[in-house]
Structure 1
Amino acid sequence: MEKNIEVSLLFDFYGELLKPSGRQAIDLYYNDDLSLAEIADQTKITRQGVRDSIKRCEQQLFDFEKKLGLYKRFCELEKGLEEISATAREIFDNSHDNNIKALADKIKSTADALKE
């Protein structure tokens, strides 16, 4: 996965654990696509200070994921729910029993709701 996307996703999971100044720098850099100079101007710190803050926060995000694994677990759950939904859809399509169809439809609906 591209690093920018990965950092953005990790920021969604762990951003609140960062210091406010680092959180702001990461948000402006990755989500608002501002340059280091633009962030420095906006936050009134040096360009090098912004770069250091972003690099430090990136490392913290990767460390949080390594220790907590929330993003990895989220991806596994999402994949599992998709498999459950696909299996329920297959059961529904291949069954002639209305009770089984109703149960398969309920399983699919529940899995789909959990994915949202």
Structure 2
Amino acid sequence: MDELSKNEALGDLYAMYSALLTHGQQDYFEDYYYNDLSLGEIADNRHVSRQAVYDNLRRSAKSLEKYEDKLRLLASYSQLEEGISQALASLAAGDQETAKLQMEDLLQIIRGE
């Protein structure tokens, strides 16, 4: 996975699970990934070493990945989003029976069946 894809994936995980991180982890993450501050700039602003910033970001990323591994919210959301898109495409094509079946499948996913 290239760096851009990795950062995008982390951004998606952050959007889903940021509330589970500490406020400090959120601040570091947002400074680095959203405010485009360097490790050195964050370290200077927070009066810590660059290594401390790096370690914090690494731990935060691992936490986000661990949350997704256990909870699978992002994967479920993506699956539902894709299913809704397919059902809408079926409706747009005038295929109501297929759309109905796709909606029933989505309900089963939501219910965990």
Where on the TM-score scale, by shorter chain, does this alignment land: which range?
0.7 to 0.9
The yes-or-no answer on 1:90 pairing with 2:93 is: yes
The separation in 2 between residues aligned to 1:31 and 1:61, in whole angstroms, is 16
The separation in 1 between residues aligned to 2:77 and 2:34, in whole angstroms, is 21
Q: Structure 2 counterpart of 1:82, which letter?
A: S
Which residue in 2 is equivalent to 1:74? Answer: 77
In structure 1, the gaps of 5 or more residues are: 93-99, 105-116
In structure 2, the gaps of 5 or more residues are: 100-113
Q: Structure 2 counterpart of 1:66, which letter?
A: D
The separation in 1 between residues aligned to 2:94 and 2:46, in whole angstroms, is 56
The separation in 2 between residues aligned to 1:7 and 1:24, in whole angstroms, is 15
The separation in 1 between residues aligned to 2:63 and 2:46, in whole angstroms, is 21
The separation in 2 between residues aligned to 1:79 and 1:29, in whole angstroms, is 30
Q: Structure 1 counterpart of 2:32, which letter?
A: Y
Superposition RMSD in Å: 1.6
Which residue in 2 is equivalent to 1:64? Answer: 67
Q: Structure 2 counterpart of 1:55, which letter?
A: R
Which residue in 1 is equivalent to 2:14? Answer: 11
The higher radius of gyration belongs to: 1
The separation in 2 between residues aligned to 1:30 and 1:49, in whole angstroms, is 16
The separation in 2 between residues aligned to 1:59 and 1:50, in whole angstroms, is 14
2:93 is paired with a residue whose SS is helix
Percent identity between the two aligned chains: 34
- TM-score normalised to structure 2 length: 0.78
Over 6 Å off, 4+ runs: none
Residue 42 of structure 1 and its aligned partner are, at CA, apart by 1.6
Residue 49 of structure 1 and its aligned partner are, at CA, apart by 0.5
How many residues are aligned here? 94
1:78 is paired with a residue whose SS is helix
- TM-score normalised to structure 1 length: 0.76
